[in-house]
Amino acid sequence: MKKTVLRSYAKLIARTGVNIQKGQEVVIQAELDQPEFVTMLVEECYRAGAGKVAVEWAHQKLQKLHVRYQSEKTLSTVEAWEEAKLQHYVDRLPCRIYLLSEDPDGLKGVNHAKQAKAIQKRNAIIKPYRDKMENYYQWCIAAVPGVAWAKKLFPERSKAQAVEALWEAILAASRVTDDPLTAWQAHNDDLHRRCDYLNALKIRTLEYHSSNGTDLRVGMIPEAEFKGGSDTDRKGIFFNANIPTEECFISPKRGEAEGIVHATMPLSYQGQLIEGFWLRFAGGKVVELHAEKNEELLRTLVGMDEGAAYLGECALVPYDSPIRQSGLLFYNTLFDENAACHLALGMGFADTIRDYEQHTLAECRAMGVNDSMIHEDFMIGSADLSIDAHTEDGRVVPIFRDGTWAF
């Protein structure tokens, strides 16, 4: 891939993704196989005004070894230096950039029960720090092609050809055109207009139907609103949390989901794929589930904590979105969630509450925003998905017909 194009992508992440403010610290999380692009991104962060840029490297193979050889107690321990780092983040509120390139099957065979228990114990200590930072800093999730990920999408090609093909797909989906900053401004404006229409309806319930068996009703929080595209943190700074994004999303009311929903794409979770699954909700909670592949892993996910079995997000994405039209199944939630409508188990977004800046996190949760250590999107969009909005004044308004917008 031409370096000039990759430079444009790095600039997009730094300036439109996290919108770095002069002198602000930046933390980048990336896999070890991405030194060239990370170096380019670090430079673009400095050019955008960053005062300091730190990189936190990760490596799936090391993670797999840690789970295999460390005791559960050691794996669960949050060291004093880790807490000191978290406190530094609370104090300094750096921008966070997450670069995804992992192998979708990279943790296959790992003891997921042991890993889940360790995550639960660690999160009991880590989560209070994260809660203090919520909505106080800019963040962005973007992607770069790892070799194993690229080969999963393009198994018939050489490693180099597969990586090049995945680069092309990532950049196309991310609107890296001749002028990506302008393209993203137009895209954000379109998503904002759709959200304005949805919010004006004053929706009380969303009702989903599909020939695959999906028959689900989800209640909305009266104070919540749809969001999409760029957003602002509590300091009023604009940023794009996901590159790419095609969604208009909202956090539903905890405890108000009834019926069954069938996933239409695999879910990549903890380095493994959960496939062919459905969930049944009663009283807002998952009460029954089935998966053709990795059902126990799905049960582990739903049981991570009390809030993991409740919905945290409803997202509307047309089935004919650019990512869907690419014809690729990315095996990566960042992309696949933007190819079709999706729901999320776990944590809801406090910033979907209208004028959330005037409320504490506890007040937002009291209104019905779900709380959990996890937030996992799963795709439910299909070519014949219909969604109706039941409004506060008693109207039934079509939102989706045949998998796409009805307005």
Per-residue pLDDT tens digits for 163-213: 999 999 999 999 998 899 999 999 999 999 999 999 999 999 999 999 999
Average pLDDT, integer, range 127-139: 95
Q: Are 213 and 311 in contact (CB under 8 A)?
A: no
Per-residue pLDDT tens for 275-306? 999 999 999 999 999 999 999 999 999 999 99
pLDDT of residue 177: 85
Domains assigned to the chain: 3-173 (3.40.1830.10), 180-226+242-405 (no CATH)
pLDDT in tens, 18-62: 999 999 999 999 999 999 999 999 999 999 999 999 999 999 999
Query: Using 50, 70 and 90 to split pLDDT, how confident is the model at 271?
Result: confident
Q: What is the DSSP letter of 13?
A: I
Calculate the average pLDDT of the chain: 96
pLDDT, residue 105, reads 93
**Model confidence band, residue 406 (pLDDT cutoffs 50, 70, 90):** very high
* The residue type at 405: W
Give the Å distances, CA to CA, from 133 to 91, 119, 138, 368: 9, 20, 10, 20
Distance, in Å, from the CA atom of 44 to the CA atom of 47, rounded to the nearest integer, reads 5
Please name which of 388, 378, 404 lies closest in space to residue 262, comparing C-alpha atoms: 378
Reduced to 3 states, what is the DSSP secondary structure of residue 59? Answer: coil
User: Sign of dihedral through CA atoms 141, 146, 149, 151?
Assistant: positive
pLDDT of residue 184: 96
Find the distance separating the first CA and the last CA of the chain, reported in whole Å.
Answer: 38
The whole-number average pLDDT for the span 120-148 is: 96
**pLDDT for 73 beyond 90:** yes
Dist. CA 199–CA 378, nearest whole Å: 24
For residues 30 and 99, is the Cβ–Cβ distance under 8 A? Answer: yes
Provide the pLDDT for residue 178: 86
